[in-house]
């Protein structure tokens, strides 16, 4: 704390360039920036200890961008897009080292009495989580590691448990065990639900005003989000297998379904969003029963999947549709219920036993760190996980856990 206070005080004080000193300090700033751009994180930290002017100079975002892009979960995508431009890059790199080393503080944000299968989404300073047939919205406190206990909102409408939901266009689109889809406006009391499938709706996604849903009844369906057309099915796709996961391509041209893998075809198939026609199968070596429980697009041509066969697979449609370009195996042979990435190097997965959350560096095959969040007899899968650059949130049967990588 003393070091942080000293750095904050130094930042407030004007720090002019020293009139005397090493020749390095008399170089033009552009040339000094070029020289410092070749330094690693440790060297920049040591240079910052020379004087206040160099401390301020070496805090420049330009010097830390290269280091941040090679770091875990620093807010940069693989293409270099900065998702958190308002936060100094140097500060993000500091926190990134805690992700790399597995240094965090564990806590519990919420508890519930009955066993649940919760789903969760983050948006800004709010957390949305399903409990039974409700979706509750909570506001984070400034530290990000605790919640205001009173919910901001409660969204109801399903007769059975909420299986899945997404946030899109200021709406919550929910999939229920009652076979219905619910559409809730976040900032009003507007709620509509309509019968969508003959059995429970296991998954749903929404982009660009289009909803796709997948069900245990072995169909996937396409729906409009427009208020005047809610409940009007655009396409019904016979998948011939139970649908566990679904995702729409970022360019809105197609969507992918993850099924139970009980037939003689791949559990991953891509469909044309406009016509509902099958476009391609992904993979050719899935064993029977290797159902896909979670799937996500990372770009229009790349996606990740995980499920019962204990692997996370990374697919690049430009390279091959028959074989994934990278895969990571769960070391303890556990089903993988969910996954999340930072769009760059970090991958997080939730396992079926003992609430194990694993962190992976996608540049290597071995697991980086594992965090068991439960123990016998309260073993639980990690049903859903989400993370920011500072915190990871994991939803289990009885608790919502947080791993705080900033406030140690």
**What does the pLDDT read at residue 314?**
97
283: which residues sit within 8 A by CB, 6+ positions away?
A: 266, 267, 268, 313, 315, 321, 322, 323, 324
Place of tokens 């807010």: 75
Place of tokens 């130094």: 10
Place of tokens 């448990």: 161
Q: pLDDT digit string (tens) for 112-156?
A: 988 999 999 999 999 999 999 999 999 999 998 999 989 999 999
CA distances from 291 to 86, 113, 200, 268 (A): 40, 30, 17, 9
Q: pLDDT digit string (tens) for 334-347?
A: 999 999 999 999 99
**What does the pLDDT read at residue 3?**
44
- With a pLDDT cut of 90, the percent of the chain lying above it is 75
Q: Right CATH number for 23-98 from 3.30.70, 1.20.140, 1.20.1280, 1.10.357?
A: 1.20.1280
Q: pLDDT digit string (tens) for 272-305?
A: 999 999 999 999 888 888 999 999 999 999 999 9
Provide CATH 1.20.1280 ranges for the chain.
Answer: 23-98
pTM: 0.91
Mean of the per-residue pLDDT values for the chain? 91
Bridge partners of residue 196, in order along the sequence: none
Provide CATH 2.130.10.10 ranges for the chain.
Answer: 103-402
Distance in angstroms (rounded) separating the CA atoms of residues 381 and 292: 15
CATH 3.40.190.10 at 103-402, yes or no: no
DSSP 113: S
Distance in angstroms (rounded) separating the CA atoms of residues 91 and 68: 10
Q: pLDDT digit string (tens) for 187-217?
A: 888 889 999 999 999 999 999 999 999 999 9
Q: Residue 290 in contact with residue 315, Cβ under 8 Å?
A: no
In the structure, what pLDDT confidence band is assigned to residue 102 with cuts at 50, 70 and 90? very high
**What does the pLDDT read at residue 153?**
92
**What does the pLDDT read at residue 162?**
96
Distance in angstroms (rounded) separating the CA atoms of residues 319 and 301: 9
Q: Residue 231 in contact with residue 222, Cβ under 8 Å?
A: no
Q: Among the residues of 102-238, which ranges form H helices?
A: none
**What does the pLDDT read at residue 18?**
66
Distance in angstroms (rounded) separating the CA atoms of residues 78 and 112: 38
Helix (H, G, I), strand (E, B) or coil at 211: strand
Q: Which two tokens stand for residue 170?
A: 């200021």
**What does the pLDDT read at residue 285?**
83
């Amino acid at each position: 704390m003393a070091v942080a206070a000293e750095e904050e005080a130094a930042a407030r004080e004007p720090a002019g360039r020293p009139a005397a000193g090493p020749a390095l300090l008399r170089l033009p700033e552009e040339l000094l920036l070029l020289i410092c751009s070749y330094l690693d994180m440790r060297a920049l930290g040591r240079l910052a200890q020379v004087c206040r002017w160099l401390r301020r100079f070496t805090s420049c975002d330009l010097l830390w961008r290269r280091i941040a892009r090679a770091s875990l979960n620093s807010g940069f995508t693989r293409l270099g897009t900065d998702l958190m431009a308002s936060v100094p890059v140097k500060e993000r790199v500091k926190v990134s080292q805690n992700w790399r080393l597995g240094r965090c503080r564990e806590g519990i944000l919420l508890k519930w009495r009955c066993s649940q299968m919760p789903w969760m989404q983050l948006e800004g300073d709010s957390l949305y989580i399903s409990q039974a047939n409700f979706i509750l919205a909570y506001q984070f406190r400034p530290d990000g590691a605790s919640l205001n206990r009173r919910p901001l909102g409660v969204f109801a409408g399903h007769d059975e448990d909420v299986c899945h939901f997404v946030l899109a266009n200021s709406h919550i689109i929910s999939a229920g065990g009652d076979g219905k889809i619910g559409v809730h406006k976040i900032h009003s009391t507007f709620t509509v639900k309509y019968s969508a499938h003959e059995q429970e709706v296991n998954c749903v996604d929404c982009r660009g005003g289009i909803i796709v849903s997948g069900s245990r009844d072995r169909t996937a369906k396409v729906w409009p989000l427009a208020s005047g057309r809610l409940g009007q099915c655009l396409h019904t796709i016979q998948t011939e297998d139970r649908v566990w996961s679904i995702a729409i391509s970022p360019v809105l041209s197609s969507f992918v379904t993850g099924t139970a893998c009980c037939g003689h075809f791949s559990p991953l198939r891509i469909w044309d969003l406009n016509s509902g026609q099958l476009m391609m199968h992904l993979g050719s070596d899935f064993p029977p029963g290797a159902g896909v429980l979670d799937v996500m697009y990372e770009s229009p041509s790349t996606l990740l999947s995980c499920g019962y066969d204990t692997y996370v697979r990374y697919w690049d449609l430009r390279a091959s549709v028959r074989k994934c370009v990278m895969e990571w195996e769960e070391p303890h042979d556990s089903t993988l219920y969910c996954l999340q990435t930072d769009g760059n190097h970090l991958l997080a997965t939730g396992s079926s036993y003992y609430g194990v959350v694993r962190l992976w560096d996608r540049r290597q095959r071995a697991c980086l760190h594992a965090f068991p969040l439960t123990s016998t007899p309260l073993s639980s899968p990690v049903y859903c996980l989400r993370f920011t650059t500072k915190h990871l949130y994991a939803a289990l049967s009885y608790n919502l856990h947080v791993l705080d990588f900033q406030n140690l």
